[in-house]
């Protein structure tokens, strides 16, 4: 009988051998493709002997989302791809809404996230983000009970309003008074990190405090998403071998895991220290952690830690990724800004007259923006073009036939390109590449049109529909209303605005803007 050590050694040797063989074939082919690629990608990626489509994918990785969009537009919204033999890389890529409905709703049980997805996001292993089946249903029910707690919702609403008034707007006002260009993505990252962590732990990390401390925790979360994309696009044997050798992206990821685990421990200790001491940070049992810490299903420290990281990433990534794109879109579309201000005017006028806000800065209560139709349409339009999670991954359990007529087989990996779906003429019309909130409005402009979730997938669809959707929209509307009403936003010219290589659609180089205080 082989010993466990011998088995592990053999497994690692196999991973290393496969990785070496694959990379020895890929590297020269990759550099050849990179040096000879044209600006217009082929309709379909080349399916090379032995290595499959992997070189084409790697050669276009710098521009992955636009590359997939071009390929999907030229192939009828669907294409099949294979990696090197023995790697298990068999892909079906789609942005077809009918296929999406089949995957996410009609035959949902046949398309779980799967074991490899859980390995890719191992920092959240066992939490809602990575599990399927009955564990997913149980954890979803738990999350729903947590996020519908009226006291917690009230605290999250109050936290958002306070962070906007006393955190974000003072910085914006200072930048406007000096005319100083600044990276709004960096500032929004700080704001959203604090906004997410405060109701999770009952204490404020203070990334948006006056001294602007280092953002190593937020950077660690970014690293998780960046390395996850790398893991998605190479054979599992490659990244597993790198993980064991602690080299390349895996070394960076291991350091990020250490930072995140340390952050969770620190925040839990701060919460215990503050509990019951009578200061304003005392959680008074109105935080997400309180709902889990005594739950018998979450007594395992690893599961509790993974769950808290899950909340942090889910809460942070949606609005933290979306808001910079919203400001970018609004800065290019003054007509849209004018309409939003007209919608805000009846709410803002009595506030300005009462002069309750220092420096004539108007702050909108979250409840006041709840019914604003055009503001919501403007947010949806940014989410259509720049979904925070641009790609979804699923696994095929049993052979099936897609509504498009394509066959998929057990063990295949499905990639659903949300980024591409928002840019398909066959889905959104000839103006699909234009930022146009009017497409979301009814004929009379008084309400939003119904758009099914399998066509607009920013908040997922089917049994995994995002439970925090209303909270995220409340937070984004509160921020955007305050910024649009009080400031003119100008994007500094000469920037390269492009997505980062990540599982979330952050801007690679940030977004440098200048602000000017509006004359009321």
Strand pairing class (391-395; 413-417): antiparallel
Q: What is the pLDDT of residue 186?
A: 96
214: which residues sit within 8 A by CB, 6+ positions away?
A: none
**Quick check: is 505 in a domain?**
yes
- pLDDT tens per residue, range 118-140: 999 999 999 999 999 999 999 99
pLDDT grade, residue 54 (50/70/90)?
low
Residue 114 predicted with pLDDT over 60: yes
Residue 16 predicted with pLDDT over 60: no
Q: Which residues are annotated as a binding site?
A: 466
Count of the separate structural domains present in the chain: 1
421: which residues sit within 8 A by CB, 6+ positions away?
A: 95, 97, 100, 427, 455, 457
Q: What is the mean pLDDT of residues 417-425?
A: 97
User: Mind giving me the DSSP string for 280-307?
Assistant: TT--TT-SHHHHHHT-GGG-SHHHHHHH
Are 87 and 22 in contact by the 8 Å Cβ rule? The answer is: yes
- pLDDT tens per residue, range 451-467: 999 999 999 999 999 99
**Quick check: is 12 in a domain?**
no
Q: Which residues are annotated as a binding site for heme?
A: 466
Q: Which residue has the tokens 């889990």?
A: 292
Q: What is the pLDDT of residue 277?
A: 52
**Quick check: is 62 in a domain?**
yes
d(CA 343, CA 339): 6
pLDDT grade, residue 256 (50/70/90)?
very high
Q: Ranked by mean pLDDT, which of 82-86, 89-93, 146-150, 271-275 comes out on top?
A: 146-150
**Quick check: is 352 in a domain?**
yes
pLDDT grade, residue 234 (50/70/90)?
confident
**Quick check: is 4 in a domain?**
no
103: which residues sit within 8 A by CB, 6+ positions away?
A: 94, 111, 394, 414, 416
Phi and psi of 152, rounded to 5°? -70, -40
Residue 188 predicted with pLDDT over 60: yes
d(CA 145, CA 228): 29
Q: State the residue range of the domain holding 282.
A: 17-517
Strand pairing class (90-94; 78-82): antiparallel
Q: What is the pTM of this model?
A: 0.90
Q: What is the pLDDT of residue 354?
A: 67
**Quick check: is 153 in a domain?**
yes
**Quick check: is 487 in a domain?**
yes
425: domain CATH number is 1.10.630.10
**Quick check: is 1 in a domain?**
no
Angle CA 125–129–301, to nearest 5: 40
Residue 309 predicted with pLDDT over 50: yes
Say which residue, 59 or 200, is predicted with more confidence.
Answer: 200
298: which residues sit within 8 A by CB, 6+ positions away?
A: 292, 304, 307
Q: What is the mean pLDDT of residues 14-25?
A: 48
466: enclosing H helix or E strand: none
Pick the range with the lowest mean pLDDT from 262-271, 347-356, 362-371, 396-405: 347-356
């Amino acid at each position: 009988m082989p010993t466990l050590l011998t088995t592990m050694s053999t497994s690692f040797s196999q991973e290393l051998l496969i990785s070496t063989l694959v990379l020895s074939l890929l590297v020269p082919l990759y550099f050849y493709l990179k040096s000879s690629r044209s600006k217009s990608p082929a309709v379909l990626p080349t399916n090379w002997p032995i290595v499959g489509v992997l070189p084409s994918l790697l050669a276009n990785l710098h521009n992955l989302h636009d590359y997939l969009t071009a390929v999907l537009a030229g192939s009828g919204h669907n294409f099949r791809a294979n990696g090197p033999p023995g790697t298990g890389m068999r892909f079906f890529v789609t942005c077809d809404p009918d296929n999406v409905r089949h995957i996410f709703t009609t035959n949902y049980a046949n398309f779980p996230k799967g074991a490899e997805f859980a390995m890719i996001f191992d920092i959240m292993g066992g939490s809602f983000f990575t599990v399927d089946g009955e564990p997913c249903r149980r954890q979803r029910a738990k999350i729903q009970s947590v996020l519908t707690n009226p006291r917690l919702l009230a605290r999250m609403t109050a936290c958002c309003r306070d962070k906007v008034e006393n955190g974000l707007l003072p910085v914006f006002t200072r930048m406007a008074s000096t005319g100083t260009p600044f990276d709004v993505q960096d500032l929004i990252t700080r704001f959203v990190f604090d906004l997410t962590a405060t109701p999770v732990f009952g204490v404020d990390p203070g990334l948006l405090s006056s001294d602007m401390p280092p953002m190593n925790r937020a950077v660690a979360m970014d690293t998780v998403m960046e390395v996850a994309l790398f893991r998605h696009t190479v054979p599992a044997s490659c990244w597993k071998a790198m993980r064991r050798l602690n080299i390349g992206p895996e070394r960076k990821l291991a350091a990020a895991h250490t930072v995140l685990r340390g952050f969770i421990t620190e925040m839990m200790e701060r919460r215990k220290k503050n509990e019951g001491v009578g200061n304003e940070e005392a959680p008074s049992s109105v935080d997400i952690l309180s709902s889990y810490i005594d739950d018998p299903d979450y007594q395992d420290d690893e599961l509790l830690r993974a769950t808290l990281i899950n909340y942090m990433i889910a809460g942070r990534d949606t609005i933290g990724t979306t808001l910079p794109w919203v400001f970018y879109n609004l800065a290019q579309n003054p007509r849209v800004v004018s309409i939003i201000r007209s919608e805000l005017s009846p709410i803002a006028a009595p506030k300005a007259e009462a002069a309750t806000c220092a420096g004539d800065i108007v702050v909108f209560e979250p409840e006041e923006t709840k019914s604003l139709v055009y503001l919501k349409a403007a947010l949806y339009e940014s989410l259509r073009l720049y979904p925070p999670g641009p790609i979804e991954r699923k696994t095929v359990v049993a052979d099936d036939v897609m509504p498009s007529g394509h066959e998929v087989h057990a063990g295949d990996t499905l990639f659903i390109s949300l980024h591409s779906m928002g840019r398909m003429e066959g889905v959104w019309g000839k103006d699909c590449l234009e930022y146009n909130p009017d497409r979301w409005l009814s004929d009379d402009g008084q309400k939003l049109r119904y758009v099914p979730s399998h066509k607009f997938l920013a908040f997922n669809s089917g049994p995994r529909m995002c439970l925090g959707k209303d909270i995220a929209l409340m937070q984004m509307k509160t921020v955007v209303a305050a910024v649009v009403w009080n400031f003119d936003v100008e994007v500094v010219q000469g920037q390269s605005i492009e997505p980062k290589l990540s599982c979330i659609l952050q801007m690679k180089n940030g977004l440098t803007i200048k602000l000017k205080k509006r004359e009321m």
